[in-house]
Amino acid sequence: MFCFFAEDTGLLPERLFERLVAARVAPAVLQAQLHKLFETMGAGGLFGVDAVPWFDGGLFANVDVPPLAEADVDALRAASTLDWSAIDPAILGTLFERGLDPDKRSQLGAHYTDPATILRLVEPVVQRPLRAEWAAARTVIEQAMARSKRHGDKAWRDAQAAFAGYLQRLERYRVLDPACGSGNFLYLALKALKDIEHQVNLEAEALGLQRQHDVTGPHNVRGIELNEYAAELARVTVWIGELQWRIQRGYGFRSDPVLQPLDQIETRDAVLGADGAPAAWPEADAVVGNPPFVGVTCRPPCARMPRPSPAPPRGWSHCAPAGSIRRSGPIACPRSFRSAWTVRPTRTASSPNPATRRISPGAR
């Protein structure tokens, strides 16, 4: 599917994949040619007479094309004639869910969350605080520009420094989904960050500052997912989503490589480590996502974790390992799709009994 998308957005030479699958060759020959193409996409170089970009990112790190039947080849040919350039990355979650046995689906908690519901969390948890920070930075910039007499003087440089400082904040911002599934929360959180950065650049330029190269990207997201297939889908969701955003906003593709690595989407348990102790989470500024499920019952991870305090209310506000949330960061899950929380570690990360406490209910 990524190859269909890459071909229709100009990342691959014109109709390269379509020409390849349309060749009237035995399925085994096509399998071998696909293997060569994927290896070339991983390292860059020539495939036949066509120059293929270096994609990297880890998508083609381990190439293993399964045996193809005639029906598989026919399906590839039919799919290659479609336009995949505007594919919605969110459908990967639906594909993952429908590919699971219904019993396994409930056990894994693989339940599709629609973009509108996700954005009801992303807006107050990610966008709103960052927009407030930009409003404060913009005030500083406006005051400095009011003092500026010419381009490049000290007041102008002060304004540019405030602008650059905010962009650095966006570059270093991290969003974590500790049960990321096929990556819809991460994709929409990244899109929100990039939308903010784009708007900030436009506003800064209107104030007389120099517009900067984009600094947000896949490096801004973190994920944990127990299912290996879902974790790989999450990476593809983020990659395609970011590439589509660049197309829609008129930004060029990155090159050498095209894709940023997404090793920070980890395949492991987010609740318990291999030794049975509570699992560590990567440091993040915000945590979003669906809480874990067991059967059809929503159960917070802390219900299965040692804790020094009485059982907390449902939700993730008590479950983030201490030290994983930078400063007083936001954390949210649908929890009946109504609430978001702000959390702060109550003990240091080195404490034997880390916990977090809820500060206040968020937007409903």
Q: CB of 155 within 8 A of CB of 148?
A: yes
pLDDT of 198 strictly over 90: yes
Which token pair is 359? 């500060």
Residue identified by tokens 């983030």 is 320
pLDDT tens column, 303-320: 444 333 333 333 444 456
Nearest Cα residue to 84 out of 173, 155, 6:
6
Supply the DSSP symbol for 342: E
pLDDT of residue 271: 87
Residues above pLDDT 90, as percent of the chain? 57
pLDDT of residue 310: 34
Pairing of strands 45-47, 50-52: antiparallel
Q: CB of 288 within 8 A of CB of 124?
A: no
Handedness of CA 247, 248, 252, 256 (dihedral sign): negative
Nearest Cα residue to 90 out of 119, 113, 117:
113
Average of pLDDT values for 191-205?
97
Which token pair is 351? 């404490």
pLDDT tens column, 16-46: 999 999 999 999 999 999 999 999 999 999 9
The larger pLDDT score, comparing residue 267 to residue 328, is at 267
pLDDT of 108 strictly over 50: yes
pLDDT of residue 94: 67
Q: CB of 121 within 8 A of CB of 177?
A: no
Average of pLDDT values for 268-290?
90
pLDDT of residue 130: 98
How many beta carbons lie within 10 A of that of residue 158, not counting itself?
17
Instruction: Say whether pTM exceeds 0.85.
Output: no
Average of pLDDT values for 104-126?
77
How many beta carbons lie within 10 A of that of residue 36, not counting itself?
14
